[in-house]
Chains A and B, each alone.
Chain A
Amino acid sequence: MSLTRRDIDSIARLARLALTETEIPVYIDSLSRIIELVGELDHAATAGVAPMSHPLPGQTQRQRSDVVTETDRHELYQRNAPQAMAGLYLVPKVIE
């Protein structure tokens, strides 16, 4: 199966990725080949097989009790923010 320019544009938009004009033909080619590779799965007989949901048999996701375990460290965490002010993350204006 071969992907088109329109497919790549749509995937990139869904993935929130800006691509350059030179990248697009590279991804049309390589994603088409990857989709062809994973297409081999079509031949596998999986009728009645339940999809695997956890790598260990019989394991489910553990839950914890609803109690506070972490302290407020937002000042420390915001040191990595590209732009923060007064405890808030700054982004371009969303609402006019």
Chain B
Amino acid sequence: MYSETVTELCSGLRQRKYSATELTRNLLERIQAAQPALNAFITIDAEPALAAAAAADRLLAAGDAPVLTGVPIAHKDLFCAAGSRTTCGSRMLENFVSPYDATVVARLRAAGAVALGKTNMDEFAMGSSNETSYFGPVRNPWDPTRVPGGSSGGSAAAVAARLVPAATGTDTGGSIRQPAALCGVTGVKPTYGRVSRFGLVAFASSLDQAGVIARSAEDSALLLGVMAGFDPRDSTSVDLPVPDYRSSLEQPLQGLKVGLLKEFFDKGLDPAVETCLRAALEVLRSQGAILKEVSLPSLPLSVPTYYVVAPAECSSNLARYDGVRFGHRCENPRDLTDLYERSRGEGFGAEVKRRVMTGTYVLSAGYYDAYYLKAQRVRALIAEDFRRAFAEVDVLICPTTPTPAFEIGAKMNDPVTMYLNDIYTIGANLAGLPAVSVPCGLVNALPVGMQIIGGHFSEARLLNVAHRYQRETDWHRRAPEAYR
């Protein structure tokens, strides 16, 4: 049963092929067994999960159970779940027990999903390799010497290793799509404002968006439908109806206009990854999609733009960790300043400190116009490039990452090289656009992903394209050998 998709599990549970309790036990055993090798989880909530599964079984027996009743999932450890530890991968929040639920957590629970635990992640979601976690790196189930990507690396690894059929993630610069690509699973970053951010530990508030990692576009459509929608508790939540994402999955691709992002089929792209992408595009073309090259001239500036905007927002958001109200506090502070400085110096890891300082610098007196305001102007140019492109094409396609997963440790001493790894995913965050990554091949037995980007609130179209692609291919059904 561990290899079944969410859609299959929903029907298996209703047909009483297995109980929610059996399923939960089975997956908890797999999670425990994989933990030494993968380190995909920070907290395993076995007891509450079994209690929720027993309740799910009672609902299923009574009939009339909500859509995800008994389906096991996991949450990235930056979603607050009442009574459960929420660490955000940081020593700062090592002992933080959330007093309330994130809206996403509450909605999934109300739909009947059973949360098995909290997945490992880069500290405060700052990283592209999961190596910045205070709780140690996550390993890629396809090759344990390699990174799973980040920052939602634990969620992606858990879904790839068949420890859970789906997991939540967040995406500020690619943190759902990049690990999904490197672990061979499907990742959806929705439009900014589509899914509530209430109860998510903030990193960069104008870029952060919650989404889903699953094994297929079909499962993602089901879960996104539950997670999305207006939330009065998030002032950036958009009050628009949520379409039934599943109902449009089968729509034919005849006449679909696909733009190939010229700037990203260029130098820097691993030729083997490009070969996979070209084959995937052929699958879409054979279904009637029309391919054309599209240029977004400002897009190559997305990395420098992001590394001004995101650290600036991070330095401001992370000012709340002061050692006073919650989080790590240093021993024997001399005075209040010493309390702030040492609590933060000890509680934050190296990459978080680097981003806080970068943000502090670009926002400081004398530099604000040159860096922050300039970056927000370039961001407007990038958004305008996308707007013009979507006047011509329905979706844009490019690789999700330039290369397959790299080795653990390979980029840790060079932050700029690590940052450049996000080059293909950052644009969608800067412009607030939805984007999906689907597995589209293997390079040296490592998965690679195809990224499909759409206009604001075009999630239904993106999932439709992804699903039609997955109907014709089986990359998304491949599992790493050790976890089949």
Contacts and interface: CB of A to CB of B under 8 A. Distances in A.
Contacts, number: 176
Nearest to A94: B336
Given A17-B353, A82-B323, A52 B207 contact: no
A46 B382 CA distance: 11
B97 A80 contact: yes
Contacts of A23: 350, 353
Contacts of A17: 341, 344-345, 348, 353, 356-357
B363 to A, nearest CB: 9
Given A40-B304, A79-B99, A51 B377 contact: yes
A34 B329 contact: no
A38 B375 contact: yes
Contacts of B342: 18
B96 A80 contact: yes
A52 B329 CA distance: 37
Interface string B421-442: 0000000011110000000000
Contacts of A49: 377, 380-381
B373 A82 contact: no
5 contacts: A15-B344, A16-B337, A31-B357, A44-B374, A77-B326
B378 A19 contact: no
A83 B303 contact: no
B103 to A, nearest CB: 14
Interface residues of B, number: 75
Contact of B380 (A18, A39, A40, A51): A51
A19 B357 CA distance: 11
B380 to A, nearest CB: 4
A37 B333 contact: no
B236 A44 contact: no
Contact of B325 (A26, A64, A89): A89
A6 interface: no
A92 B333 contact: yes
B379 A52 contact: yes
